[in-house]
Structure 1
Amino acid sequence: MSPAGGAAAARSSALLSVRGVKTYYGNIIALKGVDLDVHEGEIVTLIGANGAGKSTLMMTIFGNPRAREGTITYAGRDITRLPTHEIARLNMAQSPEGRRIFPRMTVFENLQMGAAVNGFAHFDEDLERVCKMFPRLKERLQQRGGTLSGGEQQMLAIARALMSRPRLLLLDEPSLGLAPLIVRQIFSVIRELNEKDGMTIFLVEQNAYHALKLAHRAYVMVTGTITMSGTGRELLENPQVQAAYLEGGRH
């Protein structure tokens, strides 16, 4: 296991590379110089307590809020100053915290919104794929998003992101508030996307046990700073991580 800024962070071939990123809300600093890498084909997990800055980092990568200092590089391109809609066109998609589906739109219309990013290039094929992945959505294509259960809304948020065929998928708290059975289903889909489709995934997650079991590599964030990094297994077995994040987390 390596401290922040260790060997893993030093590699330069990352698909996503975050260097020295500082983000503010007004005069309050939320991210205090974050360094982090996600390499092609990896599942990388970021864990930490509520308010640690995990979701702020996820949103900063996508351009809102914007990093005040540091650089964010994706596929060799500096995206630090790009607006969110331009970042979305670069084969990166996000399933945000709180799902943020369009509640008045049907499931089908929500999925259309995801596909609009790439001009509906493979819409029918991708619709069939996400419906196979999430059979509940297939049954509810004409139902308004806001009438779905929490678990179904989370499935829809992930499916909507997948409709753009992303090279990198950002998942922010996909298990939050869900029943254990649905959590296992969501994590099974994440594993399948990575193993079968080769999709690169950056996962922010409070359920540290499931997230670390799934991850190739992982980072720990404490009050806007990366304090620890290593393989998922290394962090699972680390006594500090166990004491802080794994007690009672094995669902």
Structure 2
Amino acid sequence: MSVAGINVLVEETRARTQAAKAPLLSVRGVSTYYGSIRALKGVDLDVSEGEIVALIGANGAGKSTLMMTIFGSPQARDGTITYAGRDITKLPTHEIARLNIAQSPEGRRIFPRMTVRENLQMGASVNGGRHFAEDLERVCTLFPRLKERIDQRGGTMSGGEQQMLAIARALMSRPRLLLLDEPSLGLAPLVVKQIFNAVKELNRTDGLTVFIVEQNAYHALKLAHRGYVMVTGTITMSGTGKALLDNPQVKAAYLEGGQH
């Protein structure tokens, strides 16, 4: 091979290596408004393939707004959101859902009059339900309670069961990136532990990439490889989950009186 050919090969290899290191999800300078109110103020954030990344902050900090902005509703007024190298900033929600991104929104938002099975079918419909039986078995193994409730209407189940259903419904689309918004909200500690263990297992066995928004900083940072802290629509701190757990400012603001 000529020297020129070798140089081309080296450059191609370098480009592939850089592409492999590029974040799966990249948020750059994102600002989101509700009318004239600026809810997000130039947010920068990355989630790499195979990571669990947590966003913590007080109630009203803008965490859920960022999650919803990533999923297209509301859309960012400024900045860019890139997923797998594609600019998705202005895409509508239904198109984003087809890109192997799934969301389990705050407040669960299952279909209460539908059965567990029907809710899971709705999740599978994003990819045409091609692997429904296989994926149904998988999520019922992950959350055995759903198997027991398979023909029960979602709205008649407990809050913890509904949260399991919301996550399972998201998983039925076989996402590459799972967005979890406040999965522990209003749930008993035992149920919270079960849900977080399931997320950890999915990341470990399937390599599922997870971006989790949580008010429960202790659980979120224990779970996450990396984390970000948001205060009034601005990212104020970032680091590994352990580093943030050990950070005196994070401890004082979010962990005092919490679990240790």
| TM-score using structure 2 length | 0.91
* Aligned counterpart, 1:177: 186
1:64 maps to 2:109: no
CA deviation map 1:77-100 (0-9, x unaligned)? 000000000000000000000000
Is 1:26 matched with 2:35?
Answer: yes
1:13 partnered with 2:22: yes
Shift of 1:12: 6.8
Structure 1 residue aligned with 2:167: 158
1:51–1:16 distance in 2 versus 1, CA, 3 Å:
same
Partner residue, 2:133: 124
2:13 aligned residue: none
| Partner of residue 230 from structure 2, selected from 194, 200, 221 | 221
Q: Which residue of 1 aligns with 2:221?
A: 212
Gaps of 5+ in 2: 1-19
**Offset at residue 249 of structure 1 (A):** 2.2
Residue of 137, 145, 149 corresponding to 2:154: 145
The correspondence for 2:250, drawn from 237, 241, 246, is 241
Distance 1:247 1:152 in 2: 29
Which ranges of structure 1 fall in alignment gaps of 5 or more residues? 1-10
Correspondence for 1:203: 212
Q: Residue 7 of structure 1 corresponds to which residue in structure 2?
A: none
Paired residue type of 2:58: A
Structure 2 CA distance for aligned equivalents of residues 171 and 240 of structure 1: 25
Whose helix fraction is larger, Structure 1's or Structure 2's? 2
Per the alignment, in what secondary structure is the counterpart of residue 212 of structure 1? helix
1:216 & 1:73 partners in 2: Cα distance? 21
Match of 1:5 in 2: none
Residue 97 of structure 1 aligns with which residue? 106
| Identity percentage of aligned residues | 83
Distance 1:249 1:21 in 2: 31
Q: Separation in 2 of the partners of 1:57 and 1:12?
A: 23
For the residues of structure 2 that align with 1:49 and 1:233, how far apart are their CA atoms? 19
* Secondary structure of the corresponding residue to residue 124 of structure 1: helix
Given residue 153 of structure 1, which amino acid in structure 2 is its aligned partner?
A: Q
Deviation at 1:160, TM superposition (A): 0.1
Aligned-residue offset at 1:247: 1.5
Distance 2:60 2:258 in 1: 18
CA RMSD, 1 decimal: 1.0
Counting matched residue pairs gives 241
Of residues 52, 70, 73 in structure 1, which corresponds to 2:61?
52
User: Which aligned runs of 4 or more in structure 1 are off by greater than 3 angstroms?
Assistant: none
Give 1:236's aligned amino acid. Answer: L
Report the alpha carbon displacement of residue 248 of structure 1 after superposing the two structures with TM: 2.4
